[in-house]
Amino acid sequence: MLHEIDLSRADLNLLVLFEAVLREGHVGRAAARLNLSASAVSHGLGRLRRLLNDPVFLRTPKGVVPTARALDLAGPIGLVLAGARGVIATARPFDPARSARQFVIGAPDGVSALFLQPLLAVLRRDAPGVDIRLRQLLPPAAARVGATAWEPALAELEARTLDIAVAPFEGVPARFAAQVLREEDFVILARAGHPFAAAPTLPHYCAASHLVVSMTGDANGFVDDALAERGLSRRVALTVPSFFMALAVVAETDLIAAVPRGFAAAYAPRSGVTSSEAPLPLPRFRIQAVASKAALQDAGIAWLGDALLAAGTPADAVSPSSCDARPVP
C-alpha cells in the first residue's frame, strides 16, 4: 500500500508562492504581487525547498530561474491552484468592478496591437482595478506559422505563467479552450510616394526590395510560398522582429512589407505609410484566444476571455465585404 501524504503537515500557501515566483522570476516582484515582504518570500522558499526536496529556484544577477524539477511541477501545481480557485469562485463570484487582480496575456506584437486599446477601454469601463501584464510571444527558432509554431505558449498556459494567449493558433489540443477573436489577411505597406503604391501590380511587387517581420530571422515565409507556386520570387533585404519596427522602417525607406490588415488600418495612417491590396492571394488566418480548460474554472480568467472577445471582434473585423478581403483560392 502506498504511503499516504499527510496534507495537514504541508502549507499549501507555498504553492501560491511557487506560482508567483515562477511567474515573476524575481523574489521582490513576487513579494509585491503577494503583498508580502521579500524576507517572508525568501523564508517561504526555504520551506518550499524542504517540502519538495529540491532547490526549486536558483538565484541569478537578474532574479531567479526555476530548476528542472520546478518546471516539471509547474503544470501540476497550476492545475491544483486552478481547481482551488474554481471552488472558491463558486462561493464568491468574480466581480470585475471590485477586483484588483492582475492577469498575464501573451501575444505577438502584431496581434496585441489589434486588441490592446479596445481591451483597455473595457477595463476602464468595467474593471478599473484590474491590471494587465502583456508579454510578447515568440515562436521557437525555425518554426513556421502552423500547428507547432505556438507550442511554447501552450506550455506556459499549462504552467500558469500565462493566463490567456492570443495568437494565430492552429490545431489547439482538446485540453485547451479556444475562441476566435477575428480573422485577418495581409496588405502591403509602402512609404507615401513609393512606386509600388502608385501601381501595386505583381511585377512591381516582385521587383521591389522587401522587409519581412520574422522573430527568428528566417526571411522565407508564406508570401514566398505563394510566389513560388507561380514560379516567382522576391528579394528580402531586411528582417525585423516586430511589426512596429517594420512600420518605422517602411516609413523612411523604399522597402515594402506585408502586415495584418487590422494593424495597417490602426497604425499606418498616423505614420504616413500607405497600404495596398496584395497583388496575389495570400492566406487568411484566425486569431484565437486560448486558455487551459483547468484555468477557465477561475471565474476571473473566464471573464478576461469574454473581455478579449469583446475587444478583439469589432463589427468590421470578420466581414469580408467590409474589408474588401479576397477569398482564399
pTM beyond 0.75: the answer is: no
Q: Indicate the helix (H) or strand (E) that contains 60.
A: strand 57-60
| 171-212 pLDDT tens trace | 889 999 999 998 989 999 999 999 999 999 999 999 999 999
Please choose, from the candidates 75, 295, 286, the residue with its C-alpha nearest in 3D space to the C-alpha of residue 176.
Answer: 295
| 213-267 pLDDT tens trace | 987 788 888 899 999 999 999 999 999 988 999 999 999 999 999 999 989 998 9
C-alpha–C-alpha distance, residues 269 and 285, integer Å: 23
Please choose, from the candidates 196, 194, 195, 192, the residue with its C-alpha nearest in 3D space to the C-alpha of residue 205.
Answer: 196
Q: Is the dihedral of CA 286, 291, 293, 297 positive or negative?
A: negative
- Asked whether the predicted pLDDT for residue 329 surpasses 80, the reply is no
Q: CB neighbours of 300 closer than 8 A, spacing ≥ 6?
A: 85, 89, 94, 96, 99, 101, 103
Residue 303 Ramachandran class (φ > 0 left, ψ -120 to 50 alpha, else beta) = alpha
What domains can you pick out in the chain, each with its CATH number?
Answer: 7-91 (1.10.10.10), 102-182+285-312 (3.40.190.10), 186-277 (3.40.190.10)
pLDDT band at 88 (very low <50, low <70, confident <90, very high): low
Which amino acid is residue 8, in one-letter code?
S
Q: CB neighbours of 187 closer than 8 A, spacing ≥ 6?
A: 258, 259, 260, 261, 264, 275, 276, 277, 278
Specify the higher pLDDT residue, 322 or 54. Answer: 54
C-alpha cell at 248: 518605422
Query: How many Cα neighbours within 13 Å face the side chain of 45?
Result: 26
What is residue 47's predicted lDDT score, i.e. its pLDDT? 92
Average pLDDT, the chain: 85
Specify the higher pLDDT residue, 229 or 152. Answer: 229
C-alpha–C-alpha distance, residues 165 and 288, integer Å: 8
